Amino acid sequence: MDRVALRGLKARGHHGVFPREREEGQTFIVDLVLHIDTRPAAADDDLAKTVHYGVVAEEVVAVVEGEPVDLIETLAERIAQQCLKHEAVAQVEVVVHKPDAPITVPFDDVTITITRSRA
């Protein structure tokens, strides 16, 4: 499979288990790797035979900005399922970054990485 990567998608969400996270929200950053076969699209130079990464980016931001969840694991799963709705996407790797996580010690980032495929 070939890969289309989107890195650093940013959106404000209200995800987390603490009331402050739900009320104030915070920035989440998402990286995606979409596994697709690009040969049909390349052969015909046809966008309809691949995945429109601009549309995927908008959909992912909508998921992050949408209904709050407690866990970034749940958020990552929702993002993966949205990506797999695109026929060309056979597998997706999702990384959700939570750089403003409520941790009491110095840190750079908190991430979850999941990989999902079509069933």
Residues acting as catalytic residues: 98
Task: Calculate ∠ Cα 13-16-22, nearest 5°.
Answer: 60
The C-alpha atoms of residue 112 and residue 110 are separated, in whole angstroms, by 7
Phi, psi for 97 (deg, rounded to 5): -100, 135
Question: CA Rg, the chain, in Å?
Answer: 15
Quick check: 84 and 19 in contact, CB under 8 A? no
